[in-house]
């Protein structure tokens, strides 16, 4: 016979409450897809990156190429969790649109060059690991996009209102 503690009962109640929200039900669906437009290259990509209980390898390869360092052409694996964060933020925003990508993967060379021009570029940027992206979502104010990301409590969230974009990454939870 299982012993039910107060703590396990509270955990269970919290899980049921979360699972009952429309957003949670929508995000729990098996298929996950995103659409992108790169602001520097003009390229677009619509991709179903997760289906049938697994990440789609071919779709991840397309994302990897799309989010390449557009300055050097260098490519790097993109953390699938980053795509999940984007899908969750989009779901929370209520706008099923196309993300405008300002920056995806950055090679160490590109990151160093950007760092020389701006104090806002981290020396060990998660962009160099394929774990960060700078985006906006037309139809959603960047302040609202930031709120949606902060509410998730998944990874880092940077807000750049003057440049009109939000930075998202798969690192520890933090904001700036």
Each domain of the chain, given as residue ranges in start order, spans: 31-175
Asked if 110 and 69 touch (Cβ cutoff 8 Å), the reply is yes
Task: Report pLDDT for 4.
Answer: 53
pLDDT tens by residue, 6-59 = 444 444 444 444 444 444 444 456 899 999 999 999 999 999 999 999 999 999
Please give the DSSP secondary-structure letter assigned to residue 16.
Answer: H
- Yes or no: is domain 31-175 CATH 3.40.50.2300? no
In Å, how far from its chain's centre is CA 139? Answer: 17
Q: 3-state SS of 63-111?
A: HHHHCCCCCCCCCCCCCHHHHHHHHHHHHHHCCCCCEEEEECCCCHHHH
């Amino acid at each position: 016979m299982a012993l039910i503690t107060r703590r396990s009962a509270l955990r269970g109640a919290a899980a049921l409450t979360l699972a009952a929200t429309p957003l949670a039900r929508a995000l729990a669906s098996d298929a996950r897809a995103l659409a992108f437009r790169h602001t520097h290259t003009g390229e677009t990509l619509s991709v179903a990156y997760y289906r049938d209980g697994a990440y789609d390898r071919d779709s991840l390869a397309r994302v990897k190429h799309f989010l390449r360092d557009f300055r050097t052409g260098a490519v790097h694996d993109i953390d699938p969790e980053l795509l999940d964060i984007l899908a969750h933020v989009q779901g929370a925003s209520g706008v099923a649109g196309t993300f405008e990508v300002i920056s995806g993967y950055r090679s160490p060379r590109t990151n160093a060059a950007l760092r020389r021009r701006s104090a806002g570029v981290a020396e060990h940027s998660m962009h160099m690991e394929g774990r960060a992206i700078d985006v906006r979502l037309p139809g959603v104010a960047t302040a609202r996009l930031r709120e949606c990301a902060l509410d998730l409590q998944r990874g880092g969230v940077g807000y750049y209102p003057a440049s009109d974009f939000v930075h998202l990454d798969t690192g520890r939870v933090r904001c700036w």
